[in-house]
Structure 1
Amino acid sequence: MATATAARPLPALPPGGVALARRVGERPGAPLVATVLGPGGTGKTMLLDALARLYSDAGVPVVRHDAATPLDPSAAVLVDDAHLLPPDRLDALRALARTDGARVVLAHRPWPRPDGLAELSAGVGARRTVAVVGHLDRAAVAERLAARLGAAAPASMVELVHRQSGGLPALVDLVTQGLLDGGRVDLARPERFAAPERITVSTALAERLRHRVDALPPQVQELLTVLAHGAPLDGDVLARLLAPGVELEEAVEAARATGLLTEGGELIPLIGALFVKLTPVLRTRDLHRRLAGIELERGGSVLAAGRRLLGTGASGAHIATVLCSAADEALAGSPALAAELLAAAVDAGAPRLAVAGRRAHALALAGDVGAALQTSDDALAAPDRADRDTAVVAAATALAHRGLPGRSVELLATLEPGRAVLAVPTLVVTGDLDGARAALAAADAAPGAGTLLEGAARMLGHGMVGAVTGSGAALSRLAQAAAMLEPVAAASLLPDTPAALTAVVAAVSGQPGVAESTLRRAIEGRHGGRIAVLRHRLLLAGVLVARGTLGPPAGLLDRVRRQQPPPEPRDALLAAACEVALARRRDDAAALATAWARARDALVRQPADLTLIPVLGELAVAAALLGEECWLAGPLEDLSAVLDRLGRPALWTAPLSWALLQAAVAADDPAAVRRHAADLAGTAAASPYAAVLAAAGRSWTAVLDGAPDVDELAGTGRRMAAVGLGREAAQLAGRAATTGTDRRTAAGLHALARHLSPATAADPTAGPGPADALGAGEHGATAALPDVPAVADRDAAGPGPVPDTRLTDREQEIGRLILAGLTYKQVGQRLYISAKTVEHYVARMRQRLGVTTRGEMFAVLQATLGDGG
């Protein structure tokens, strides 16, 4: 028998029937009374076919029994759809089953279950066995796909097929074939599966399957139609939707028996799509309207009902109410959908002005600033509308992103104190401290505890006022405001978010770790909606670039450059400044010039305020390198005026003075360096960070005077690295090494510079990393720094005779940078050695390589190092 079976391989059997098939294959002559139980489409008939083959191959006659076939006691009697047999045939089968040696296998659904069927296998003792078949789990679907494809299917394909088919074997095959026919799967390379966004039922497929739908009992068709259009398996709802005369419990059990519902009672997605396709349009709209009304009356979720109403043309006050309620539900998770639902509500008959504020709020959260301003303008023109306050906040937020903070503040001032407090951060950063204090006092005096948003706004306001008055608790209050807002942050609009302001204040306080962690939480929690996402990501990119992580920010900026529509002015300036920072750290002169041009254009559209101090600081250095300082004169003058109105708070003036000192170093202007160093000395007592900056200013003055105190400089460098200024500390140490100190000290300073510099992947030939990895990256280590003077770096001591003709590691390093297009000065800055030392190295390399011209040296270096060295 084994040989015969091998000659005629069996089809894939339902998992629950494998044991029964094995038993028949091993003992085909043994008496057997078996029941195969399972809903429709789960492989009962396939199993009977396999048993028939096994019996036939063993020489046992087979009778495929129906209502007219005579019974043969010597044969194996296989009965399909036993639940449909009349009572007399069930009686005959029961009599046969109780005879000695009988071999009877009955396959039937769990419903209906006539009395005679239950009695049929009673009293047969040990001969009785039951095989239960059902919907396939993921592992079984994976096996079935592997058999079909001839190779293991990718996990994404298994998941898609299992979800859409519900594990029903017949539908597994149907979905698989559809994916093959649609070119989603290549049998030669199944691992390259291209998952579609959704599975739909074509008109042709629907017509091919229509006869199967028509063959279902009418009450099952009615139930599945209702379920396909979104009704839950809930008696209260279904009783109101089903046609008169449909017995609900009977219809549900009959539907489950078809296999078209999963074991949990859910309609299989592919079947739902089929029934939707086959339902007449007017019936579909009627069902959507009735279901939406029922859900609204029940007080439950109407989001799914609202989605189904989109595009149907349904109208009326009831439909408009459903759509508005659905929009409220969708706001936090999908503001774009909420805006679409509110637009549909207007089309359905809701008064346009009555929902204008909510639409503006949703559009602003979704990042559609132009549409938000246009929509909010309707509500602003009708002050008696209850929706007006929501429109004011939406418009104020949109205007802040558009670079119009003054108008944003004017709008917020028209609100009651509990919401007008949202203007306080903007008032502070634009220099109106008195106005900020007055708004805070009014909010604090207002009755009631207020909402989470109002509470967070008050804390945010106090934190920002403290940030310019010298409060030591300012940063803590800002971080607490971000944490307080978290539960509702995804649906809350503010001109600037607590997370963004916390990050800015942390950055100017020398606490980049606080900035990074706060921004990561904001990005993960979608604080401020989509309109704030880009700002948070760009701020985080700036933090990462400063700490030496260049690839992921570069990927983000590449995506921003291609974004349509382009970013709003505030984000555009932030992106351009981040590009400038990236180009500087990669020593890419061409990229720096391009990024500077973008930044110069963006500066025109964004007024100066305190939050731009890190941005203007970065741009000041770039302008000095490019000799275009004049373009920053206006913004720096405006920013100085803001600082003057605030009393020149040290928290903000010290980082700006430090940035201007860095720009003076880049411009080789010792007098300006001394002037800014003196400004830093005046703020040294304000905070530990200000003290570090003041010490750095003293060290730079000493270095430019040619008389650095090496021990003091080393200590200052370590303190700078500890507050996120590792690259600047390395630049300081590298410059000090060129001031004429002895070779051993210079070598130690070079080693210190290399250790202070953040670890970066800033190879000038490296491409940007993936934008989606923005949250990942390495941080420059600042621990375990060498003593100074320490073990000298042999290569740093200058050229000398080398016995062999190979390029040293340092020479290879210099050669690669030269091939990348860097100048001697840029190479020296990268390696923290002087340009003169680089020139010495190049001269020695020419001698070793036997070349006399620059072109010859490039050719030899390309041949020697082009493969990676």
Structure 2
Amino acid sequence: MAGDHQPSARELLNGNGRGTHLTPSYVNGPDPAEPSAGPETDLLAPGSPHYMAQQLRGENAAVRELLLALSVGFSLPGPLPAELERKVAGGEVESLDSLVARADASGLLHPDGTVVGTAQHALLTLTPTARIHALQRELVGSFAAECRPLGDFARELARSGLADPRVAAELEGAGNKALERDPGLAAQLYEEALLAGADEWATAARRAHAASATGDLDTADRIIEGLFVRPEPPDLRLAVDVAAAVWAQRGMLGRSADVYSWLGAGKVGPSAPAAAVAMIGCGNRAGAESMFPSGSSPASPTLLAVAQAQTAKGVLESLAGDPHQGLPLLIHASDMMNASGASVPFPDTPGSLAALVALHSGEPHLAETIVRAAIAGGQGGDAAKPRLFLLQAWSAMQQDNPEDARLAINEASKANHWPLVPRDEFMCSALEVGLARRSGEVHGLVLAWERAREAMLHTSVDLYSLLPWGELMITAARLRETRRVSHYLDDAWKLLHRLGDPPLWAVPLHWAGVQAALLNESPADLAPHATALARAADHSHLAWVLAAAGKAWVSVLAANFLASDVEAAARGLNAVGMPWEGARLAGHAAARADERKDMVRLLSCARDLHPQGSSAGTGASGPPEVRNAPAADNNGSLPPDGGGLSEREKEVARLVLEGKTYREIGEAIYISPRTAEHHIARMRRRLGAENRSDLLVRLRLALGAENPQRE
């Protein structure tokens, strides 16, 4: 047995006081006085597998067999490998207790019966792989005989390279259990099952599900593409669900509907609600009702199945002339999905759809509450988080809370380690446009518009993306870029027409059309949108408010309005979650009021609706930025400071330097154009400017002296 010598366990402790064959200089490393070791010497460095093997050679073969078995995963008091058990039973070697005692006395075993780490590493590294795997299979057999699950040990076996159908089956089972609630773990388990020899295609749909739920769309796509070309793909319905969810995240909901049409109503089964949501989203109501007929029951009484069925019913109800039942159904669905804790492939989460319906109903605060609950409940897993955060941001923006909106956008961008999917990138870019438009920063608006132009090239129009398209319609009109979005908007109107022009979904887009027409100064373009709002007002409070606001806007631009009517319209906009829009209407009217009392009244209204302000200008389509200082000052409010200008004059000066007209200055800080002109004339006299160019130079110097750090 001399040639079969292996490390002495006692010597593996390397200086624990029990080793006797190691000199002190080699206990914790090479002697620093010795020359540097070469590659061959490194093989025998203390702690290396070869060094450990040499040290183990002092033990007999039976002890080494015991140590190897324990290193592989067998445990004391047994059972142990059949060959070792046979030798012990036949008296060929000393008793098991004696072997254990020898190993323990030499320091090779921990008190719990596991092998010291360095010895275990040496044994597993230097023992032939075939023998290791044979012992592992025998160990798996002993677990099976005792009906014991392998647990995490199955993962270790798979990662060690053992191919065994029993290990693969256990890993698959564990992956199936984790799939709905922890898709990231499920993905790892399925990959380890493949290492253990699992059939690649048997788990393909589930692996794709796990990948898509964690946001890895490319991996999910590759798996599904390979599965669909097989003659009889397993788990076909799940594969279709995954494909549809991926297409939706890519901003191509029409392709989601096509996948369900390809599957057919006869095979759709429990996926009928998902098919209905996809088909309604791309304008195919008849197809949705064929997949999910009215009165359909959930596939099972589970929370998940009921939540999915309620989602489809809620979306169908939202298409009605009186859509008030849609929102409660979707909120119930979102609550149930939160309670289920499941992450399943679906074109959109019930929380997102409920929030969209709330936003389209003029209830952004409710939308924010819904998405916060969905985020807290982990609805839809990591892949759904960005969209939920972006809807939270949209709700905040609509309520005139830009800081909260930007915080939510930041959360969306870091919700998982993947870039935003095209659908979410498109919404994010539209949010940036909306925030820039509301801030009045022209340069920022142009930059945001460029990003949005690129994002829109990677997506298509669907029912659930109308809010971003409405925002882009308004901005395109302001920037004279309507041609960039016209064909997308044509698709949006056609989609709504195919669905019967449902008021809930159509009203916000008509309101965007009104604002765009006002910016384009096109009464002909405004008329059909105003008519649609008036027609929908019988069943939609939001439509009634927006119709009144549109009428007020027309009267303001025609300089033929009553301050009381405008104020009522502005406060109505605030009541449906549009304070910024209300302030903008009141501010424009104040700038055009003939009577000073009307101007003061409208300025007061605007400041009530938009109390937070800045000194930045807003541009023709931006809302007036309201200062906390007194608004209706016609005489220059504060005493001159060291720069020679009052606070109000500094405010006007900044706007002059931005190139704004008297009217735009008045709209920005809620004074009349004539008052703005008086301020500028007074500053010109006070600064001794001879002409406009000279005034601009002197204003820059005055404001620069006030803020030297900005130079």
Larger Rg: 1
CA 1:351–1:706: 2 relative to 1, 3 Å: same
Matched, 1:646 2:646: no
Give 1:349's aligned residue: 197
Q: Which moved more, 1:654-663 or 1:838-847?
A: 838-847
SS in 2 for 1:494: coil
Contact 1:492 1:527 in 2 (8 A): no
CA 1:720–1:401: 2 relative to 1, 3 Å: same
Q: Pick from 340, 364, 368: which aligns with 2:212?
A: 364
Matched, 1:831 2:675: no
Which amino acid counterpart does residue 542 of structure 2 have in structure 1? Y
Shift of 1:440: 1.7
Q: Which moved more, 1:293-302 or 1:579-588?
A: 293-302
CA 1:713–1:853: 2 relative to 1, 3 Å: closer
Shift of 1:451: 4.6
Matched, 1:280 2:124: yes
CA 1:793–1:711: 2 relative to 1, 3 Å: farther
Contact 2:637 2:646 in 1 (8 A): no
Which amino acid counterpart does residue 647 of structure 1 have in structure 2? G
Which amino acid counterpart does residue 854 of structure 1 have in structure 2? L
SS in 2 for 1:352: coil
Give 1:404's aligned residue: 252
Contact 1:751 1:793 in 2 (8 A): no
Cα-to-partner distance string for 1:139-175 (whole Å, 9 max, x where unaligned): xxxxxxxxxxxxxxxxxxxxxxxxxxxxxxxxxxxxx
Matched, 1:864 2:702: no
Give 1:144's aligned residue: none
Counterpart-to-counterpart distance in 2, 1:337 and 1:731: 51
Contact 1:360 1:391 in 2 (8 A): yes
Which amino acid counterpart does residue 321 of structure 1 have in structure 2? A
CA 1:424–1:282: 2 relative to 1, 3 Å: farther
Matched, 1:419 2:271: yes
Which amino acid counterpart does residue 591 of structure 1 have in structure 2? G
Q: Which moved more, 1:756-765 or 1:806-815?
A: 756-765
Q: Pick from 432, 441, 447: which aligns with 1:579?
A: 432
Q: Pick from 338, 341, 344: which aligns with 1:486?
A: 338
SS in 2 for 1:403: coil
Counterpart-to-counterpart distance in 1, 2:123 and 2:464: 58
Q: Pick from 282, 286, 299: which aligns with 1:430?
A: 282
For normalisation by structure 2, the TM-score amounts to 0.75
Contact 1:730 1:832 in 2 (8 A): no
CA 1:385–1:748: 2 relative to 1, 3 Å: same
1:268-667 alignment, distance < 5 Å: 280-281=124-125, 304-309=152-157, 311-332=159-180, 334-382=182-230, 384-413=232-261, 414=263, 415-441=267-293, 444=296, 449=300, 451-469=302-320, 470-551=322-403, 553-554=405-406, 566-667=419-520
Contact 2:253 2:462 in 1 (8 A): no
Q: Which moved more, 1:546-555 or 1:371-380?
A: 546-555
Shift of 1:358: 1.0
Counterpart-to-counterpart distance in 2, 1:805 and 1:238: 91
Counterpart-to-counterpart distance in 2, 1:278 and 1:808: 84
1:16-165 alignment, distance < 5 Å: none
1:740-759 alignment, distance < 5 Å: 740-757=593-610, 759=612
Q: Pick from 578, 583, 586: which aligns with 1:725?
A: 578
Q: Which moved more, 1:693-702 or 1:726-735?
A: 693-702
Aligned length: 626
CA 1:684–1:556: 2 relative to 1, 3 Å: closer
Shift of 1:206: 6.5
Which amino acid counterpart does residue 280 of structure 1 have in structure 2? L
Give the root-mean-square deviation of aligned CA atoms.
4.6
Contact 2:386 2:411 in 1 (8 A): no
SS in 1 for 2:485: helix
Cα-to-partner distance string for 1:406-427 (whole Å, 9 max, x where unaligned): 3322322423332133111122
Contact 2:327 2:357 in 1 (8 A): yes
Runs of 4+ in 1 over 6 A off after TM superposition: 203-208, 221-231, 241-247, 271-279, 282-303, 558-565, 760-765, 817-826
Counterpart-to-counterpart distance in 2, 1:566 and 1:349: 33
Contact 2:636 2:679 in 1 (8 A): no
Shift of 1:737: 0.2
Counterpart-to-counterpart distance in 2, 1:303 and 1:844: 84
Cα-to-partner distance string for 1:422-457 (whole Å, 9 max, x where unaligned): 1111222222222222222288268x6265433222
Cα-to-partner distance string for 1:47-96 (whole Å, 9 max, x where unaligned): xxxxxxxxxxxxxxxxxxxxxxxxxxxxxxxxxx9xx9xxxxxxxxxxxx
Counterpart-to-counterpart distance in 2, 1:296 and 1:404: 48
SS in 1 for 2:324: coil
SS in 1 for 2:323: coil
Which amino acid counterpart does residue 608 of structure 1 have in structure 2? V
Q: Pick from 685, 696, 701: which aligns with 1:854?
A: 696
Cα-to-partner distance string for 1:454-507 (whole Å, 9 max, x where unaligned): 322211111111001133210010111112222445421101111111111111
Counterpart-to-counterpart distance in 2, 1:460 and 1:341: 31
Give 2:32's aligned residue: none
Which amino acid counterpart does residue 707 of structure 1 have in structure 2? N
Shift of 1:632: 1.8
Contact 1:827 1:838 in 2 (8 A): yes
Counterpart-to-counterpart distance in 1, 2:615 and 2:118: 55
CA 1:308–1:796: 2 relative to 1, 3 Å: farther
Counterpart-to-counterpart distance in 2, 1:815 and 1:661: 33
Cα-to-partner distance string for 1:706-747 (whole Å, 9 max, x where unaligned): 132222322332222122100000000001101233223212
Which amino acid counterpart does residue 323 of structure 1 have in structure 2? L
Counterpart-to-counterpart distance in 1, 2:234 and 2:281: 31
SS in 1 for 2:501: coil
Shift of 1:550: 2.7
Contact 2:184 2:214 in 1 (8 A): yes
Shift of 1:608: 1.7
Identity %: 32
Shift of 1:617: 0.9
Contact 1:339 1:363 in 2 (8 A): yes
Cα-to-partner distance string for 1:685-706 (whole Å, 9 max, x where unaligned): 1122222112212221221221
Which amino acid counterpart does residue 466 of structure 1 have in structure 2? E
CA 1:547–1:364: 2 relative to 1, 3 Å: same
Shift of 1:658: 0.7
Q: Pick from 781, 799, 810: which aligns with 2:648?
A: 810
Counterpart-to-counterpart distance in 1, 2:374 and 2:652: 42
Contact 1:490 1:525 in 2 (8 A): no
Q: Pick from 554, 567, 577: which aligns with 1:714?
A: 567
* Unaligned ranges ≥5, structure 2: 1-16, 19-43, 86-94, 619-625
Give 1:798's aligned residue: 634
* Unaligned ranges ≥5, structure 1: 1-80, 85-202, 766-784, 786-791
Counterpart-to-counterpart distance in 1, 2:147 and 2:657: 70
CA 1:239–1:696: 2 relative to 1, 3 Å: farther
Which amino acid counterpart does residue 463 of structure 1 have in structure 2? G
Contact 2:470 2:513 in 1 (8 A): yes
CA 1:412–1:753: 2 relative to 1, 3 Å: same
CA 1:503–1:833: 2 relative to 1, 3 Å: farther
SS in 1 for 2:292: helix
